[in-house]
Structure 1
Amino acid sequence: MFLSKPKTLSTHRGTFTWREGGDPDGSPLVMIHGWPESSYSWEHTGKHLKHGLRVIAPDLRGLGDSERTQGVHHYQKQALAADVISMLDELGVTDFQLVGHDWGGVVAQEVALAIPDRVQKLVIMNIAIINNLKGNMEVIDKVRSGSGKAYWYQHFQQAPGLAEAMIPGNEETWINYFVQGIVAPIPADAVAEYIRMYRIAGTPATGANYYRTFVDDAKRWATLSEHHWNIPGLYIYGNKDKVIIPEYLNHIEECFDDIQVEQVDAGHFLHEEQPEEVAGHMNRFLDTH
């Protein structure tokens, strides 16, 4: 195993879990998972990371083994970033490099907005760049011009009470629907972990809350169009993704002083379909001591 078993950490914001791997004395690398995953999503990518990196992988609120907090507002992405920062403060981690996938990529961007002087490099995978208003509007136009059927699960989870009523007892079917690899299979141990996680009481609701906050999140991001990232950035794109479509890459070079874009022959869960290739791109970008 690359990652440790989940460790529990209490901060002023709540009780969370996290995993650790790599070089204990290495340069801190914070890796934030997306939905419907947990910190375990970095297990197979981590095995291919170069020596000299200390991986710190939090379980976001409501997922993994972190607390299942009631109240939708706790799942706004700015609030989830505050959770992560509180964990890093408790662990005594000051400066670090940062990786995020899916909703974890948004949370990573919110972390970088909140404490830019502590984030040395930023890696984002298969999610919107939150200050890329121009590109994200082009995505909306493209989706509206088609059927939008790939986004059904977002509307399903936004409906009050529906996820809570229909997912319990059907966790295996629910998870397997999303994490089928498009190009290569997602490791069976990872799939089993996400099924286990979704069987924890309250998870259908807390998982759905990531989508129930989307309107409020989007209003916030619409105010960020003038923001410009001066943190060196790397965007790794699984180019077979049916939800995060290629238009999300439009204009991202206008959002960064320094951005590299790499494509991987994979779907949305690129880091689990092609862990060695994804780790290779990160190894060329990330620094060790």
Structure 2
Amino acid sequence: MNLSQPKFLDTPRGRFAWREGGDSVGYPVVMVHGWPESSYCWEAVAGYLDSGLRIIAPDLRGLGDSERTESLAPYRKAELALDVIAMLDALGIDDFYLVGHDWGGVVAQEIAMAVPDRVHKLVIMNIAIINNLKGNKEVIEKVRAGSGSAYWYQHFQQTPDLPEAMIPGNEAAWLGHFLRTWSKDGFPQDAFDEYVRMYSLPGTAASGANYYRTFREDAKRWAGMADHRWPMPGLYIYGNRDRVIIPDYLNHIEDCFESVQVEEVDAAHFLQEEKPAEVAGHMNRFFAAD
């Protein structure tokens, strides 16, 4: 199955784009993209998911074809989660499977925190678990002990006005650094072209950077979550060649869920586009299990 072209929803929180695919009356699986991508990142995976599922793939605020918002506060991850929940409410989606990659994985966790009774199963891919304070602290200590050079782009985007001055007109070079050099077996040209188009929309250099500019406020929120355990079944699919989400992020992950399984994929950060069949296979088995 393929995903639709972007559709648009007007909600009390703003105007957002989304794609859908699969069975229109099937059980919903909500798939949340990360940075610097859009809902298109699930296009390849959609072709391998169980045809009985209904895919709902939103474009997060400031990315894809959703609205660009200038202020910082709406890019806090708990606020982005409320955006998605508002979209699901508008679509009449009650309970669902939930998938998130990269920052979308954080937003998915915030959704699961906000409406745990609606999230039947939770899949996270290549991002920190926000209540894994012990494991995340170990990562920080390891990064500080080294050069930390892989994280330069985060500091770049947190610098006031710098992304806005340097990215416009250079979108292909900017995205190519991540999408192509971070990929083990190459990055699909159709997806690359879509993200260049999306990042060329006015305001995206700033709205994309705002995901990183709000990180410190997010971290303050997560600092009080050490005792939280996700009540719904969890699946963590890990691309083992990621340069930024290193294996240490998996330390102590079992303490964060009532039940969780970890599946490793021989891929880098953008595993859903590098190995869509394998990623979808893990999801299908997880969703089908009692």
Measured against the shorter chain, the TM-score band is over 0.9
What is the DSSP-based 3-state SS (H/G/I as helix, E as strand, rest coil) of the residue aligned with 2:117? helix
Distance in 2 (alpha carbons) for counterparts of 1:197 and 1:34: 13
What is the DSSP-based 3-state SS (H/G/I as helix, E as strand, rest coil) of the residue aligned with 1:121? strand
What is the DSSP-based 3-state SS (H/G/I as helix, E as strand, rest coil) of the residue aligned with 1:200? coil
Query: How many Å apart are 1:278 and its aligned residue?
Result: 0.4
Q: Deviations over 1:165-208 (max 9, x none)?
A: 00000000011110015322221100000000000000000000
Distance in 1 (alpha carbons) for counterparts of 2:260 and 2:67: 35
Aligned runs of 1:189-208 on 2, under 5 Å? 189-208=190-209
Query: How many Å apart are 1:90 and its aligned residue?
Result: 0.3
Q: Which residue of 1 aligns with 2:141?
A: 141
Q: Which residue of 1 aligns with 2:75?
A: 75
Which deviates the most, 31-40 or 18-27? 18-27
Question: Aligned pair count?
Answer: 289
Q: Does 1:65 align with 2:62?
A: no
Q: Is the 8 A contact 1:101 1:124 kept in 2?
A: yes
Q: Which residue of 2 aligns with 1:154?
A: 154
Query: How many Å apart are 1:235 and its aligned residue?
Result: 0.0
Q: Does 1:283 align with 2:288?
A: no
What is the DSSP-based 3-state SS (H/G/I as helix, E as strand, rest coil) of the residue aligned with 2:224? helix
Q: Which residue of 2 aligns with 1:41?
A: 41
Taking only the aligned residue pairs, the percentage that are identical comes to: 68
Distance in 1 (alpha carbons) for counterparts of 2:31 and 2:239: 17
What is the DSSP-based 3-state SS (H/G/I as helix, E as strand, rest coil) of the residue aligned with 1:224? coil
Aligned runs of 1:9-24 on 2, under 5 Å? 9-24=9-24
Unaligned runs of 5+ in 2: none
Residue type matched to 2:17 in 1? T
Distance in 1 (alpha carbons) for counterparts of 2:197 and 2:230: 37
Q: Does 1:99 align with 2:99?
A: yes
Aligned runs of 1:1-289 on 2, under 5 Å? 2-180=2-180, 182-287=183-288
Distance in 2 (alpha carbons) for counterparts of 1:129 and 1:176: 27
Distance in 1 (alpha carbons) for counterparts of 2:174 and 2:184: 20
Q: Deviations over 1:20-49 (max 9, x none)?
A: 001111100000000000000000011010
Q: Is the 8 A contact 1:82 1:111 kept in 2?
A: yes
Unaligned runs of 5+ in 1: none
Q: Deviations over 1:34-89 (max 9, x none)?
A: 00000000000110101210000000000000000110111000000000000000
Distance in 2 (alpha carbons) for counterparts of 1:254 and 1:223: 15
Residue type matched to 1:160 in 2? P
What is the DSSP-based 3-state SS (H/G/I as helix, E as strand, rest coil) of the residue aligned with 1:30? strand
Residue type matched to 2:220 in 1? K
Query: How many Å apart are 1:277 and its aligned residue?
Result: 0.5
TM-score (norm 1): 0.98
What is the DSSP-based 3-state SS (H/G/I as helix, E as strand, rest coil) of the residue aligned with 2:50? coil
Query: How many Å apart are 1:214 and its aligned residue?
Result: 0.5
What is the DSSP-based 3-state SS (H/G/I as helix, E as strand, rest coil) of the residue aligned with 1:237? strand
